[in-house]
Amino acid sequence: MAGKNMVAVTDDSFGAEIEQHRGLALVDFWATWCGPCHMVAPIVEQLAAEYNGKLKVAKMDVDQNLRTSMRFNVRSIPSILFFKDGVHVDTLVGAYPKPAFDEKIKKLLAP
């Protein structure tokens, strides 16, 4: 379910797409049956457009990618994990409003 400016990642592509990425990346761990995930999806799409070129945005279906979900201890969804130069640096769990994401992204993009 990746849209414009977003990439769908899997257990197999996660290393190349996220852990080898230089800069800031946001990964939305979600599932088709998750109501709050559908509430967050339009916000994630907006972030992908607004921070295009500054932030890599990816989506990962937890039902089809258990290995990566377990590796990062994703127990509740939506879980939004932030990676800086391939290293997990922060997490938001739950359906937050857009300003919460903006604040986190601006803090992580700051030098």
Task: Write the CATH number for 100.
Answer: 3.40.30.10
State the pLDDT at residue 3. Answer: 59
Do the Cβ atoms of 101 and 47 come closer than 8 Å?
A: yes
Report d(CA 102, CA 98) in Å as an integer: 6
SS3 label, residue 73: coil
Q: Is the pLDDT of residue 1 over 70?
A: no
Q: Is 103 inside any structural domain?
A: yes
- Look over the chain and give the mean of its residue pLDDT values, rounded to a whole number: 95
Per the structure, the count of domains in the chain is 1
pLDDT at 2 over 70: no
Find the domain containing 37 and state its range. Answer: 6-109
DSSP alpha helices (H): ranges in 1-111? 14, 35-50, 66-71, 98-109
| Chain segment 24-39, per-residue pLDDT in tens | 999 999 999 999 999 9
Which residues are annotated as catalytic? 34, 37
> Could you tell me if 62 and 69 are in contact, meaning their C-beta atoms sit under 8 angstroms apart?
yes
In a domain, 68, yes or no: yes
Task: Using the predicted structure, report yes or no on whether residue 72 has a pLDDT greater than 90.
Answer: yes
57 within a domain of the structure (yes/no): yes
1, part of any domain:
no
Instruction: Note the pLDDT of residue 80.
Output: 98
